[in-house]
Structure 1
């Protein structure tokens, strides 16, 4: 949804989230060491079908996206390690996935052993501590697999890390308080870690893996079904766009309060709820709003193997719902949902005439969710139909430029409306009809899609609106053109329009003016904070309980309380008013209590907790920033 104040409160908030539903507010990860990052990318990419071998090779040869390191894993190993990765390189070249897994697993385990040797051989405590820190960061590559398969071993190793770290000694402060390393304790702790690695990750051969994971070998050989919690690989980014796009809702512009529209408010909640989807999206906190921040485009969203660039995603690949995998590497630029009630048909190729059918397809097929109830679909559609375009004072309601626009844009408007012989005597405006929100609600093959086979007629794409496009770069279905000027150049060159350089500049100025907005982003200050916006939204979502409780609608109440209580607690970490955080955590617990009572059909207790929630929310609203 949006992006724990003392250590105790942070711990309590984390425990609440871990023990309950997954929040749609993702948590930032610590940076990965290059070889650990490459290993985790290999596990992730190795489970995709078809296998992206070029990406697997790149995972080892180049830094992962957003890495703090300027070199890839192999170059890093050349600098920092005596381990030779020849076996791994050979396995990648042969495209032998089992061998790649085995070699990569051994490499990371050997790197742990190498740094344990350095820690024990160090004469200075600072050197030993640095080696231990490196070991700990490398161990992250295996950590979730061990925790899922062998919690007792995870606990023993955790204690060994504590003992190892605390027994390296200290140089003290200016020579005072120095302590010597406790070699016996270090050796004992190292034996625990190394023993487990030898038994599970430093093997000559591994059992065949149908699915790559960091599970220990003993767990795999046991034959027990063990699920490692889904995780995104290093380089992923599912955080909200910054600055946050402004959300324009039709009812708000008319002065109607969302709390008076319970169906719309429930749909708003569903749009922000990861509970709507199946695994892995639900486990990772991915919701509709993850891709479509505030109804617009999340231009920073990126998942290796599913995105070819930020702001794009392949929703019918192997990751989100394998049964829906079309086995094509075809990530699409995320479309804006602004003005959705005007922009049908839906889907990039306009395959869905109905927004309801399109929405169901996204939930069930693309993201593997359960069949939504009719009420859920009604609510989602009701909410999304309220999305409006960004106001643009340089355009009239029928799509003409106002007198406030620059001369270049007005010249561009003439070009936009001029028929061209190479366009079949049609103009740009023939498809992007100005007085119809720059749409014609049809699909056209303009030659931007490479045919899948000879004679294929599958290149027709739904005409996109031009409204708000100044903020949705890059352009075309695959995001292949970085600017609106590049779009003009593409049409001129591929359609032989014969535009002069001045014509291109004028047409670009027109498109930039049409695509502009008076206020494209949310405006925040010291009190009008991102959390205050989130708090208002979450309490609005919760207001639908006033409608659902009298109906004893347990299914939809629980979906709401599971979503909003977790997000309210998670979002409290963004508050600038630190003294008010405990109140917000308590408010989240109050809403969770509503859900707990509904689960056991104690409707009287649910009513009482809900009444208390409303009273407490009103009392802290002014301090919630």
Structure 2
């Protein structure tokens, strides 16, 4: 179940963590800059350059695509600029909060002046778009106030009136109702979001100031800033599994099936990754790379992020901004050591490190690690008819690629008498299991030791751009140019083109992306995978393994319900919800130790699955 579904989320609704990533609606520029400031302002150390850019440049995910500064008064812009220049976190928070509050008040005043016209409704909508920046903090800290404000916004929208159609049938504005609702909102904002009333905060949030001052312990839901994209990439990679190619059914391999579920489960991580619904498959879509993955402040560009910063696990914070490109996991059983720096010889140790160290999860059990490894070891490369079993080009490769193959095996003085093929050994999946300093890393201090990087495989690399450990080079052609320039290979333009053609030949693969046609829909793929995950209950219930049943149910049941929203056969949605409910019943019964009830609920699940199977698309 490598996730790929996207849904627009209403900004005021809490989101339950699940593996299906949810896509944000566009933000107003000032609201986007404010929310990005909250996110970046809680990182350690604070990235002041990025904080400045969040106001002076358009924020990805905002509409219109303009900077927040372009929407601000000179006084507001000066306050933000001065706070950034002085690197004054609290001053920036106050200035940013003022920007949003002032904008809401100004739009409401403009709406009041335009009652009975289309401009009134438009200004209320603009005010609400800015209010979105505060909404989740208000909801988390003051539910009663949140409901009161919600009713006030509804009243505003119904009280503005309009000019009607061709000047006929126009509802008159209700000025009294509008004034009362406006006063409710403005009073609340002045009491809670006026800079003069805000005390310094350990954590920047949009929780109202009166609630913060009360000392109440508020659990603000984890959120990502505007511009984030943790949904699966649009071109969904085709997954090649060894057992499927051999004609075997994953449901008959419970350890593999359970590992498949764990690979797609946020439940194995700690907060905030778990709360956001991030799983292994978020970054490694169907064993490959999510080339769209991006979190502002953590990612320098799409396809990777800084995995050892303060956001996911403060204990693992190395206090450096070091973006790492996400590696493909295709053929991972052949590609040790693991980690860009080859720090783990064991795939088991590396997997444990990702769960516990990078994403703050609890220590996985031996059974869970066994299952994850059993599944990941099934990952294979995409078949590539341009190379044979020894990594040599076949007759299907181009003449340019064949000329490049000769260059690839040619020793160069700039490579200390070695060839490209010395490290990217063709008959070893184009890697040698060693680490090298190739000149892309810097020493941590003057005279310090440079981090060496492991040799990555070249198989299927056509589909995992950008390249190098930090994703700094966008194309294979640029990689060739970098080596040519930095290692003084002295290749002319034709030779560089031939070497690039060779890399593209060995990096190719058949049918790299999943094709959906007719009943073979995105939901059908998800349904087959989710029900396969559930099939491990045939093993877990007799074992009376309540812990792993709970993890499975908490992963699969919400995904089934969420995925139903994209069914082609919408009439079958109620059946999916019933199936999810049966799975919840299994989890509830096993948690209570009622194993007979758990088995009964599981049998009900299987019976319903069999009955509705044909309609699941």
What's the TM-score bracket when you normalise by the shorter of the two chains? over 0.9
- Which position in structure 1 is the counterpart of 2:439? 447
The 5 A counterparts of 1:184-263 are 184-263=176-255
1:32 aligns with 2:27: yes
Distance 2:114 2:357 in 1: 55
Give the alignment partner of residue 61 of structure 1, picking from 56, 65, 70: 56
How much has 1:222 moved relative to structure 2?
1.2
Distance 2:458 2:103 in 1: 53
Distance 2:59 2:440 in 1: 30
Contact 2:115/2:161, CA 8 A, preserved across alignment = no
How much has 1:597 moved relative to structure 2?
1.5
Give the alignment partner of residue 271 of structure 1, picking from 259, 263, 273: 263
Q: CA RMSD in A?
A: 1.8
1:130 aligns with 2:131: no
- Which position in structure 2 is the counterpart of 1:2? 3
Give the alignment partner of residue 579 of structure 2, picking from 580, 584, 587: 587
- Which position in structure 2 is the counterpart of 1:7? none
Distance 1:164 1:616 in 2: 47
- Match of 2:320, SS state, is coil
Give the alignment partner of residue 96 of structure 1, picking from 81, 88, 91: 88
When residues 495 and 203 of structure 1 are mapped into structure 2, their CA distance, relative to the original with a 3 A threshold, is closer
1:120 aligns with 2:121: no
1:51 aligns with 2:46: yes
Contact 2:97/2:195, CA 8 A, preserved across alignment = no
Distance 1:523 1:425 in 2: 45
How much has 1:125 moved relative to structure 2?
3.1
Contact 2:289/2:326, CA 8 A, preserved across alignment = yes
Give the alignment partner of residue 337 of structure 1, picking from 329, 336, 339: 329
When residues 350 and 94 of structure 1 are mapped into structure 2, their CA distance, relative to the original with a 3 A threshold, is same
Distance 1:601 1:138 in 2: 49
Structure 1 runs (4+) greater than 6 angstroms displaced = none
- Which position in structure 2 is the counterpart of 1:458? 450
Distance 1:514 1:319 in 2: 38
The 5 A counterparts of 1:276-355 are 276-355=268-347
How much has 1:608 moved relative to structure 2?
1.2
1:423 aligns with 2:415: yes
- Which position in structure 1 is the counterpart of 2:482? 490
How much has 1:340 moved relative to structure 2?
0.6
How much has 1:227 moved relative to structure 2?
1.6
- Which position in structure 2 is the counterpart of 1:566? 558
How much has 1:592 moved relative to structure 2?
1.2
Task: Note the alpha carbon deviations across 1:207-243, whole angstroms, 9 max, x for none.
Answer: 1111100011111111122121000000000010111
1:380 aligns with 2:372: yes
Contact 2:4/2:236, CA 8 A, preserved across alignment = no
Distance 1:248 1:261 in 2: 16
Contact 2:29/2:65, CA 8 A, preserved across alignment = no
1:432 aligns with 2:424: yes
- Which position in structure 1 is the counterpart of 2:151? 159
Contact 1:83/1:107, CA 8 A, preserved across alignment = no
- Match of 1:116, SS state, is helix
Contact 1:447/1:459, CA 8 A, preserved across alignment = no
TM-score of the two chains, using structure 2 as the length reference = 0.97
How much has 1:25 moved relative to structure 2?
0.8
- Which position in structure 1 is the counterpart of 2:598? 606
Distance 1:225 1:328 in 2: 31
Contact 1:431/1:438, CA 8 A, preserved across alignment = yes
Distance 2:168 2:64 in 1: 35
How much has 1:83 moved relative to structure 2?
6.4
- Match of 1:400, SS state, is coil
Distance 1:71 1:259 in 2: 51
Contact 1:3/1:571, CA 8 A, preserved across alignment = no
Contact 1:102/1:205, CA 8 A, preserved across alignment = no
Contact 2:337/2:344, CA 8 A, preserved across alignment = yes
Give the alignment partner of residue 521 of structure 1, picking from 513, 518, 525: 513
When residues 83 and 121 of structure 1 are mapped into structure 2, their CA distance, relative to the original with a 3 A threshold, is farther
- List alignment gaps of at least 5 residues for structure 1: 5-9
- Which position in structure 2 is the counterpart of 1:371? 363
Distance 1:375 1:153 in 2: 47
TM-score of the two chains, using structure 1 as the length reference = 0.96
How much has 1:35 moved relative to structure 2?
0.3
How much has 1:594 moved relative to structure 2?
1.1
- Which position in structure 2 is the counterpart of 1:557? 549
Distance 1:51 1:83 in 2: 24
How much has 1:123 moved relative to structure 2?
4.1
Contact 2:93/2:204, CA 8 A, preserved across alignment = yes
Contact 1:389/1:467, CA 8 A, preserved across alignment = yes
Distance 1:400 1:504 in 2: 19
Contact 1:277/1:368, CA 8 A, preserved across alignment = yes
1:405 aligns with 2:400: no
Contact 2:29/2:63, CA 8 A, preserved across alignment = no
1:173 aligns with 2:174: no
- Match of 1:275, SS state, is helix
Contact 1:2/1:571, CA 8 A, preserved across alignment = no
Distance 2:403 2:62 in 1: 46
How much has 1:345 moved relative to structure 2?
0.8
Give the alignment partner of residue 69 of structure 2, picking from 66, 70, 74: 74
Structure 1 range deviating more: 297-306 or 523-532 = 523-532
How much has 1:28 moved relative to structure 2?
1.7
- Match of 1:204, SS state, is helix
Distance 1:98 1:466 in 2: 48
How much has 1:205 moved relative to structure 2?
4.0
